[in-house]
Structure 1
């Protein structure tokens, strides 16, 4: 499906099965009929998050037909974290740490993302042979996805017992966080289709590995600003491994 009207420019669509367009100050994310349910979930999460006062996109419109659906949202101002110049990385890590702490402290979230359901998604992706090797480290590519999944399943009881539930973004990578390029404050979060109550380490793990991989920096300033000086390394490693197994 394509968005209604003319003048839309195609932009990159990330990892989900959607097409993304921009026209002026509006973003349109569109899917085929089999993706409507997931896009509806993102629509509802986007609306909820905007209603909390958290900097984020807002829902502009929803268009649905037999061919699929389009979610129209406002453009978040600023620059995506992945595009920030190196001089701003330290300040951005500090503001992101403080902002994420506030994000995790949100209340009355109607959405949940229990660990069991995430592991089940990984099991489905592995069963279908759909794991994208580009999302894996060299070390992980040296073994089979089935072996990686076995590690996840074996470690799940510990992670479940240590979990600290919070409102989590669910895909907190640098392209999904925008910053003011001058003040380095967070101007908004996008792509919240996985938002829900989950262990806060599911966000922390993905963000810290992104800072290391994309910016080649020590994520310590981010964790310190968040208020976590002695992180649970075991949970960080668990979620770093689990996430790439859930896309496919």
Structure 2
């Protein structure tokens, strides 16, 4: 992977002037810095030249970049993910530097005229992750029990289909999960932007793996399919499930979408 560089960064930048963190300047060492992404809690992503990316989480946030670095290093044995170059922290925050991969996000404008290509790649990428990464060797847990233990029990930022649900009712449903279908190593954030496609439009790599861990495959499939409507509009779920090679399971889909909205 060392020779790969990404030449097609995501199209969304910060949208406002933000001071570059000192740690990021140090890592860049005079190389050009391009702002790529700012998330809702203040985490920043920059491209360094054409060879690297660096994520920075201010100390005021709880973004799990150290956790992500650990998971990336482990997952790289089995599937293509960004290579960790360096990670660290100081009193200002935490950072993660990775080597770039030559590909496009599944939600890049390149695929907007042809969302079927992106949807197929997302599904095939998840299938590869779920089949190639050995469950018995994975030291990370993304089980329902672990997620419920960390849940804030809040639906304030939930999807409209859950936002008006009584929290006690929601919690009762969440604490009564369906039987496990198949344990796999899940991505943990299988939303469409976290799959990279190659020049040929096929699945290339996974990114943003801070929550990677063992769970029922429907924990990924429910969210991966749900995110398609957010990025490509309605009507793509059938293709997603066909490309993955599975029939939709309404009960498990509904359960894992509610669990997601409960913030766990």
TM range (shorter): 0.7 to 0.9
SS in 1 for 2:175: helix
SS in 2 for 1:187: strand
Aligned to 2:84: 59
Query: Which structure has the highest helix share of the two?
Result: 1
Displacement of 1:20: 1.6
1:157 maps to which of 139, 152, 176 = 176
In structure 2, relative to structure 1, the CA distance for the partners of 1:157 and 1:199 (3 Å cut) is same
Aligned to 2:9: none
1:95 aligns with 2:160: no
Deviating beyond 3 angstroms after TM superposition, the runs of 4 or more aligned structure 1 residues are 13-17, 32-37
Q: Which has the higher contact order (CA 8 A, sep 6+)?
A: 1
Please, what TM-score do these two structures have when normalized by structure 2? 0.78
In structure 2, relative to structure 1, the CA distance for the partners of 1:171 and 1:184 (3 Å cut) is same
1:117 aligns with 2:146: yes
1:39 maps to which of 58, 65, 82 = 65
Displacement of 1:158: 3.5
- CA distance in 2: counterparts of 1:183 and 1:218, whole angstroms: 20
Runs (5+) with no aligned partner, structure 1: none
Aligned to 2:216: 199
Contact 2:125 2:205 (C-alpha < 8 Å) held by counterparts: no
Displacement of 1:38: 2.4
- CA distance in 2: counterparts of 1:136 and 1:150, whole angstroms: 16
For these two proteins, the number of residue pairs brought into alignment is 233
In structure 2, relative to structure 1, the CA distance for the partners of 1:15 and 1:185 (3 Å cut) is farther
- CA distance in 1: counterparts of 2:147 and 2:127, whole angstroms: 23
Runs (5+) with no aligned partner, structure 2: 1-20
